Structure formats: structure tokens, C-alpha cells
Structure 1
Amino acid sequence: MLHNKYVEEYIHKWKVGKLLLNKKRIQLICLIEKEILPKDDLYYFNDEQIENYIEFSESWYFELDEWETFIAPFIFLFRKEDDEPVFDDFTINMGRGGGKNGFISTLANYFISSLHGIDYYDVSIVANSEKQAKRSFLECYRTISKNGNEDLTEEFEAYKSSITGLETQSVFEYKTSNASSQDGGREGAVIYDEYHEMESAEIVDVFSGGLGKVDCGRQFFIGTKGFIRDGYFDIKFRECEDILNGTIPFEGIFPYICELDDLEEMNDPTQWEKANPAFQQPLNKRGKRLFNTVLKEYKKIANNPSGYSAFVTKRMNFIMDNTENSVASTKELYATDRPFFELNTKPIGSLDFGSVRDFSACGLLFKKGDEFAFKTFSFAIKNFVDVHYGYSNSANDTGTGKKAPIREWERLGLMKVVDEPSLNPAHIVNWFIHAREEYGVEKIIADNYKLDILRPLLEAEGFEVEAIRRPSSIHPLLAPRVEDGFANHRFIFGDNPLMRWYTNNVYVKETQAGKQFLKKEEVKRKTDGFQAFVHALYRANELIDENIDTSFDALEALNF
């Protein structure tokens, strides 16, 4: 069993109730206890490096908070086989004011020091603006240059644009996240400050290309949740969630995420510690000052509602569902995960065959009372899912936040990947033939695109096919039904993560013609299943929610 006093003390405090943690940090501890600490045959803590770092930080900067001394040992956790870090990616996400910048200041300065002892271990801090990028750098520069710190000035050469560790010749610099003006160097560590402002992975790709040229390469992503959706933050955050949920292995990435578990906790200041470890009880001087500031901001919201969103996002580190732009909130989306009612009535079939080179979706819509059940199946072209989701990569068996878990959805029987240059229409036709045998479907609604290929084949098999010439024209008509159905939990998709993914990839845009259901991202975030669902809803009024056989039996029983 691996032992480290800082890790053990942190976990003990949580277990005896002296530390209030949110769900994601509890998941992290559970993973550590299961996947790391028992494996003393594979890993080891470099206690000398851990103590050197903590002593260096507290001698020249400030006393580290317990969350910092908890994370530090994992920065210096190594594999026995090659003496490389077990975790080379640290994602640290918490409410504003938690001390993230101070933490990376001490790390950056330590990494270029003789105590760390790795030559040419350059460190770059990257941020969207120069002002943000310089924040931690200036803290180091001022600390080294301060009168009375002669020991530091003997070890480090500090200029306003770079700091050099004289013994290791390691250089600490700050840079802005303009990928076009940057080139990957030979960094030992790259720190991405306020990474929630990054709209894409472009700058990460540039700087990560320089890692691996020196020993013990590491990346740090620090920030608070922001307002840019579907950018790099969301990709990274979903990847962390996958790790914490056990979907992908706990290796490489160390996700330390502080947030409220529920928005209602915002109204109870005793719960704020979940979002910001600076509020850990008992509060130190800095924690008291920050707490009073945040409490004042909270009280102002009553008279200044415009500050509500910023307070929730930045102080409580909580992202609210944007119900204006999303077709369904997270809660509404997961409400579709209910068992189907008995599917013993004749359904309406539907189809989205928009592109034969990526995804196509078939569906059956059933009605019972005010509820609609949608049973769907998708086909995908192997080349497309290889390129965009790493389908054939054995390391991507269940997907990540970046890559949809196609293999997992295939195993669940929700879709089929076909190795063809374009989708053979026979797959669609055969699926509806089987659906007719099982459920009695006779009519299929589809968009007009490519229907010149499919219609003759479906009609030859005896199906009635109705084309929607301009699918966008029916969206304003169906928007009230869609909104009401999700809001009042009238839609049932069953346990179908693929259908939830399709739906989550849709946003609602207000136009002069009315509301449109559009893709959040054109290439990777597919919406085919949702569009097939909308096609079926277009003719939902034709559905009869009573079993016809039962009706005939009832008529025969009547004595006229």
C-alpha cells in the first residue's frame, strides 16, 4: 500500500466530516483508494520532491492550503518501470478566488529550480490575454526580486519577460494563446490559465507538441467554468467526467473539480466549500476575506438579478442549462430515460438519411395517452467514425469527451457501423421490414433529400412513404410540441445514450420564420436521431394509442 501523509490526512478529514467535498472530488478519492494507493508494486511517491516543493513554496511564497498539499504528491507520483509521472495532465477547476494562480506560481518557480533538478525543464504559462498570462509570472518575478530574498536572486535570473533557473538553465515564460504566432518548443511543463476561454484545442495542440523532449513532461489546466460552450473546456470537462464515472481508465489525467452538486446549494453558504476549497473550515485569514466578498455579491443579487448568471458560474462554479438555446435541459433530457410503455399499437416510421457518408437514423414513434415513445436505430460509415471518433482505435474502446463512444453504443444494440464508402439503402429497407414484422409499421416519414433513392425501394416493399420537402419549414410548427413534450416529460427514449447525445447536440435558433432545430457543431455532433424524431412528430396526430386487436375484441363482445 502506498502512503503519503498529506494524501492520507486529506482523505481522513473527509471521512470524519471535517472536510465538505462535492461529488466529483469524492469520486476522485474513491478512484485513488481503488486504483492508486493499493498498487505499491507499480507506483511510488517521490517523498523528497514532495517535501522539497512544499518547503520551497512555504518558505518563499505562502502556506499552502490542504487542497494544494493533497494534489502535490500526485504531481510527484511515478511509475516504477520508467520513473515517469503517473499523471502528466492536471485539470484543476474551482470557483474564482480559490488560489489556483498562487498554486501554479509556486509550481512554475519550483520546476525551474535546482531542487527539482531537471535541466532545461522550461515552463510556459498560456492564457488568452497577456494580462492573464502574466499574473502568475509577475508573482514569481516580484518574489525573486524582492529585497531580502538574496538566496532566490542567486538561484534565478529574473527579467520582466523570462525567469531562468541558473543551475538547470530552465526558463519560465508567459505566452498568449494565439496559435498562429506560437510554435511548440521543448517545454517540461505547460500551464493553461483560464482554459475555459479557449474556443478550440488549437493552442493545446501547438504546445503539447513540445512535450516529451525532456523528462517528466506535464500539463496543467486551471480555470473556473465560463460562458463559452462547446469549446475546449467542455471537451476537457467531459473527459474528466468520463474518468470520474469510470468510463475510461484513471491514468494520465488527474481531475480535481470543485463545484456545487445542486444549484439550490448556492442559497446555503455552508455548502460553498464544495465549489471553492478556500472556504474550507475553519477559515483562514484569506478565506474569511474572500468569503465576506462573495457573501456581499450574493446579497446584491436580490436587487441586481443581472449578476445572477456570473455569480453562479464564476463563484459557485456551476453551469446553468441555457434553456433558451438548448432544445432540452439536462434534467429534461434524462427524464426520457424511462422504460417504454407496451409497444402494442401501430407506430409511425421516420427516417433521417441526410448524408449517406456519415450517419443515418431510423425510428418508430408510438403514442399512449399524452406520452410518446421513440424507438430508434442508427447506421454509421466506418471511415467517418474512424476519423472523427477513433472507432477502430483499441485505446478508445468506450470513447471520451472528445470522441463519442461508438463501440459502446454498438454493443448496446443502438447502432451499427458499416464498412462501406456510402450507406447501402438496403440497410434502411431491411430495418423497416423487420420493424413491420414486429410492430406493424406501414407509413414512413422522411426528408426529401436522397428519397429518390429510397422511396422506390421502400414502396416496392409495400410501405407508404411521405416526403417532407423542406424539413426546416416544419420546425416552427413543431417547436411548441417539442418544448411541451420535454418540459412535461412526455417523451420516452428508453435507456438510449445515443438518442440523448443526438438531442443534446441540437440548439434552438429564433428566426423570422420561427424556431429552427440546428446543429451545435457541423461535423462531429450529429443530430440525425433527433431529426428523425421530429419527422415522426410531424404526423403524430395520425397515431392511435389503442391496440386495434383489443378494440375488435371489445366490439365482438358487444351484444347488439
Structure 2
Amino acid sequence: MLRNKYVEEYINRWKDGELILNDKRVKLIGLIETIILPRSDLYYFDEEQIENYINFSESWYFELDDWEKFIAPFIFLFTLEDDETVFDEFLIVGGRGKGKNGFISTLSNYFISSLHGIDYYDVSIVANSEKQAKRSHKECYQVIKKKGNEDLEEEFEAYKSSITSRETQSTFEYKTSNASSQDGGREGAVIYDEFHEMENSEIVDVFSGGLGKVDHGRQFFIGTKGFVREGYFDTKYRESEDILNGLTEFIGVFPFICELDDIGEMDKPELWPKANPALQPPLNKRGKRLLTRIMKEYKKLATEPSGRPAFVTKRMNFIEDKMENSVATKEELTATNRPFFKLDSVPIGGLDFGSVRDFATCGLLFKKKDEYAFKSFTFAMKQFCDVHYGYSLKEQVVGSEKKAPIKSWEKMGLMKVVNEPSLNPKHVVNWFVEARNQYGVRMIVLDNYKADILGPMLEKEGFEVVRLRKPSNLHPLLAPRVEDGFANSKFIFGDNPLMRWFTNNIYVKETEDGKKFLKKEEIKRKTDGFQAFIHALYKANELEDQVDYNSAFDMLDELDF
């Protein structure tokens, strides 16, 4: 059985009711107790490194919080077989003010020191802005240069742009997250500060390429949930959720996530340590100042409710499911599962054909009074479905939100999986020809991206084709109609979970030009059906209301001429 006093103390304090932990940290402890601690035959804690780091930090910087001492042993957890790190990625997420920059400072300074003892173990801290990236570096520089710290100044050659250990020749520098201006070096550790602001993985790809050239390479992702949906943060967060839920192996990535479990806990200050471990009683001087500041912000919400999104997201590390982030709530999506009204008028056709190698969706938009019915059908490429959804497996795995039950939707008649090198546009044309025979559709609205291929083919069949040069430019105009439609249950998709999946994969982003409907995830979470719906909705004003002629004639019969 593996033993470490800091890990044991943290776990025992929680079991004794002294620590207030959120669900994800409880799950993390469960994984540690079942997968790591029993395996003394595979792993070992480097107690010397753990003590060296903690003593170094508390001698030159400040006393570490319990959560920092809990994480530290896992930074120095190694395999018995080849002395490799068990965890080379650390995801540390929590409410603003928990002390992440201090943690970054102590780790960075220690890693390049002679106590760590690895030559050329360079450390880079990466942030979205130079000001943020310099914060921990500046703290290290000031500590080294502080009067009375001559021993540090003797070991480290400190400049405002870099700090170098004279013995190990390891260097600590700060970088900005501009991938085009950076080159991967020979980093021993890379720390991504405020990584919730990263829109994609470009900068991580650059710096991670340099890892592995020195021993014990590590990456640290530190931040809060932030407002960038769905950027790199959400990708890493979902990966961590899969680990904590037992869907992915608990090796390599150490997810330490602090957050409220429910938004109602925001009104219970005694539960705020779930989101911010620095608020865990007993409070030190810094913790007391932080609690006073957060309490002031909380009370201010009563008179300034516009500050709620920032408070909830940054302080409570919680994302509320509102229209600012999601195109529709769960309840609004469920409300689209209603039978169609009688489809007996001419609809508008909508088409999204983004790529010949994944999905394409055709749809028909009908209107009756204030309601819109959207009847859709999707074509999908077999190779894409095999790679991303396990389509050809005997039992398709649907273990997480990233998997889509393609076979089930195909059996429901909502889509067809096509085994071709690329999707033949003729499938789409034939679908609309059949739809015209049944419903009389004449106009089809599509993205200009594939209009050069499909436009002439559809026009040859006698359809009027409306080409949208850049559909996203129309989103701000359509946003009020979309919001009203979902909020007031005006949209009907029928018994179509595929269409609801498409819609659930959309988020709304506020831009200078207005709201735009964007993908939550670029590859697996497809949005073709929703975009086809939006295309058709652009021409919704040209739809004639469905008329209930039976009711109209009944009304005429009652009139006394």
C-alpha cells in the first residue's frame, strides 16, 4: 500500500467531515484509493522530492494550502519499472482567487532548481496575454531579488525576461499563446495559465512537441471555466469528466476540479469551498481577505444582477445553462418532440452539405400560424461513422456524449449511412425530388460552399436555389426568431432525436455583429441538421400559413347570410 502523509491527511480530513469537497474531487479520491494507493508494486512516491518542494516553497514563498500539498505528491509519483511520471498532465480548475499563480510560481522556481536536480529542465508559462504570463515570473524574480534572499540570488541568474539556474542551466520564461510566433523548445514543464481563454489546441500542440527531450516532462492546465465555449478548456474538461466517471483510464491526467455541484449552492457560503479550496476553514489571513471580497461581490448582485454571469462563472466556477451559451435548454429541446401538424402546404427546403466525407442534412420547413415544423433526413458516410462513433461494431458504444447512436437513428428512418469514398450529391437531389412529389417543395436554401456542385444539379431538376454566401452573417438577423421559437415552443421536430442532437451541439456566441450559432465541438458533435433548419428559416417569411379548411367551412356553415 502506497503511503504519503499529505495525501492521507487530506483524505482523512474529508472522511472526518472537516473538508467540504465537490463531487468531482470526491470521485478523484475514489480513483486514488482504488487505482493508485493499492499499487505499491507499480508506483512509488518520491518522498525526497515531495519534501524538497514543500520546504523550498514554504521557506522562500509562503505556506502551501492543503490542496497544494495534496497535489504535490502526485507530481512526484513515478513508476517502479522505469522511473517515469505516472501523471504528466495536471488539470487544476477552480474559482478565481484560489492561489493558482502562487502555486505556479513555487512549482516553476523549484523545477529549475538544483533541488529538483534535472539539467536543462526548462519551464515555460503560457498565457493569453503578456501581462498574465509575466505574473508568476515576476513573483519569482522579486523573491530572488528580495533583500535577505542572497542564497537564492547565488543559485539563480534572474532577469525580468528569464530566470536560469546556475547549476542545472534550466531556464524559466514566460510566453504568450500566439501559436504562429512560437516554436516548441526543450521544455521540461509547460504551464498554461488561464487556459480557459484558449480557443483551440494550437499553442498546446506547439509546446507539447518539445516535451520528452528531458526527463519527467509535465504539463499543467490551470484556470476557471471562463466564457469561451467550446474552446480547448471544454475539450480538456470533458476528458477529465470521462476519467472521473470511469470511462477513461486514470493514468496520465490528474484532474483536480473545484466547482459547485448545483447553482443553488451559490446562496450557501458555507459550501463555497467546493468551488474554491482557499475558502476552506480554518481560513488563513489570505483566505479571510478573499472571503470578505467574494461576499461583497455576492451581496452586490441584489442591486446589480448584471454581474451574476461573471460571479457564477469566475467565483463559483459554474456555468448556468442560459441562452447566452446554449441555443436551447433541455426543456425547450424536449418540447420539439411533438407530432407534426398536417403537412399540406408547400414548404421551404433547407440543406447543409458541409463536407462530402461526413454528414449532409436535407429538410423541409412548414408553417401553421405561429408554429414551424421541420422534417429532416441525414446522409452520413460510413467511414466517418466507423471512426468517430463505432458504427460497425457489433454493439455500438454510447458511453459518453461524444458518441452518437447512429444505428438507432438509422433504424428510425432518420438517416442513411452510405458506404462510398465521398457522398454522391445525387442522394441529396433525389431526396428533394421525392419531397417535391409528396409536398410540392420548389425552393431550396443552401450554403454557398457546395452550391457550385449541387446548385446546377437541383436547378436542372427545376428547383429554385437560394445560395447563402456566408450563412453566419445571417445569424444575428435570425437569432430573435430562433430564441422566440424555442422559448415559446413554436418549433416541432417530431420524434427525431437526431435533430435534437444536432441542435444540442450548437452554442450561441456573442460577437460584435450579434449572436452567431456555432459548433460546440468541431469533429464529432455534428450540427448539419440545425444549420439546414436555419437555412430554411431564412426564407420562412415566404411560407404561407397552413389553413385548416375543415374548420373554415364549419365556420361558414354557422354564418347566417
> CA 1:422–1:76 in 2, change beyond 3 Å: closer, same or farther?
same
SS of match in other structure, 1:299 = helix
> CA 1:12–1:452 in 2, change beyond 3 Å: closer, same or farther?
farther
Say whether residues 1:333 and 2:330 are aligned partners: yes
Deviations 1:318-362, CA, capped at 9 Å, x for gaps: 33445256422xxx1366469967999989998635245131135
**1:186 & 1:386 partners in 2: Cα distance?**
37
Structure 1 residue 57: Cα displacement: 1.6
What is residue 422 of structure 1 aligned with on the other side?
422
Deviations 1:223-256, CA, capped at 9 Å, x for gaps: 2232333333333333333333444333322221
SS of match in other structure, 2:18 = coil
SS of match in other structure, 2:210 = coil
What is residue 504 of structure 1 aligned with on the other side?
505
Contact 2:182-2:206 within 8 A present in 1 as well? yes
What is residue 184 of structure 2 aligned with on the other side?
184
Contact 1:42-1:80 within 8 A present in 2 as well? yes
How many residues were matched structurally? 523
**1:456 & 1:542 partners in 2: Cα distance?**
29
Structure 1 residue 65: Cα displacement: 0.8
What is residue 360 of structure 2 aligned with on the other side?
360
Letter in 2 for 1:504: N
> CA 1:85–1:160 in 2, change beyond 3 Å: closer, same or farther?
same
**TM alignment of 1:237-276, pairs within 5 A:** 237-276=237-276
**1:14 & 1:425 partners in 2: Cα distance?**
60
SS of match in other structure, 1:250 = coil
In the superposition, the TM-score normalised over structure 2's length comes to: 0.76
> CA 1:468–1:477 in 2, change beyond 3 Å: closer, same or farther?
farther
Structure 1 residue 425: Cα displacement: 5.4
Structure 1 residue 95: Cα displacement: 1.4
Letter in 1 for 2:330: L
What is residue 309 of structure 2 aligned with on the other side?
309
Contact 1:409-1:498 within 8 A present in 2 as well? no
**TM alignment of 1:6-405, pairs within 5 A:** 6-321=6-321, 323-324=323-324, 326-328=326-328, 332-333=329-330, 336=333, 352-355=351-354, 357=356, 358-361=358-361, 378-381=378-381, 405=402
Structure 1 residue 277: Cα displacement: 0.6
Structure 1 residue 455: Cα displacement: 9.6
SS of match in other structure, 1:296 = helix
Structure 1 residue 100: Cα displacement: 0.5
> CA 1:43–1:442 in 2, change beyond 3 Å: closer, same or farther?
farther
SS of match in other structure, 1:278 = helix
What is residue 462 of structure 1 aligned with on the other side?
none
> CA 1:40–1:364 in 2, change beyond 3 Å: closer, same or farther?
farther
Contact 2:10-2:66 within 8 A present in 1 as well? yes
SS of match in other structure, 2:423 = coil
Structure 1 residue 38: Cα displacement: 3.6
> CA 1:479–1:100 in 2, change beyond 3 Å: closer, same or farther?
closer
> CA 1:171–1:67 in 2, change beyond 3 Å: closer, same or farther?
same
Q: Give the fraction of aligned pairs with identical amino acids, expressed as a percent.
A: 62
**1:364 & 1:25 partners in 2: Cα distance?**
47
Contact 2:324-2:509 within 8 A present in 1 as well? yes
The answer for unaligned runs of 5 or more in structure 2 is 549-561
Superposed CA RMSD in Å reads 4.7
What is residue 551 of structure 1 aligned with on the other side?
none
SS of match in other structure, 2:116 = coil
SS of match in other structure, 1:287 = helix
Contact 2:91-2:255 within 8 A present in 1 as well? yes
In the superposition, the TM-score normalised over structure 1's length comes to: 0.76
> CA 1:385–1:159 in 2, change beyond 3 Å: closer, same or farther?
farther
> CA 1:317–1:510 in 2, change beyond 3 Å: closer, same or farther?
closer
Structure 1 residue 278: Cα displacement: 0.5
What is residue 555 of structure 2 aligned with on the other side?
none
The answer for unaligned runs of 5 or more in structure 1 is 436-440, 458-464, 545-560
Deviations 1:525-544, CA, capped at 9 Å, x for gaps: 64212245568986897699
**2:209 & 2:476 partners in 1: Cα distance?**
47
Contact 1:365-1:533 within 8 A present in 2 as well? yes
What is residue 549 of structure 1 aligned with on the other side?
none
> CA 1:516–1:100 in 2, change beyond 3 Å: closer, same or farther?
closer
Letter in 2 for 1:505: I
Query: Which moved further from structure 2: 194-203 or 377-386?
Result: 377-386
Structure 1 residue 147: Cα displacement: 3.0
> CA 1:386–1:178 in 2, change beyond 3 Å: closer, same or farther?
farther
> CA 1:298–1:164 in 2, change beyond 3 Å: closer, same or farther?
same
Contact 2:89-2:254 within 8 A present in 1 as well? yes
Deviations 1:63-118, CA, capped at 9 Å, x for gaps: 21111111112212223333211211111111111010111111111111222221
Structure 1 residue 176: Cα displacement: 2.3
Letter in 2 for 1:352: L
**1:443 & 1:31 partners in 2: Cα distance?**
59
**2:510 & 2:76 partners in 1: Cα distance?**
48
Letter in 2 for 1:157: E
**2:26 & 2:316 partners in 1: Cα distance?**
18
Query: Which moved further from structure 2: 517-526 or 120-129?
Result: 517-526
**1:70 & 1:412 partners in 2: Cα distance?**
45
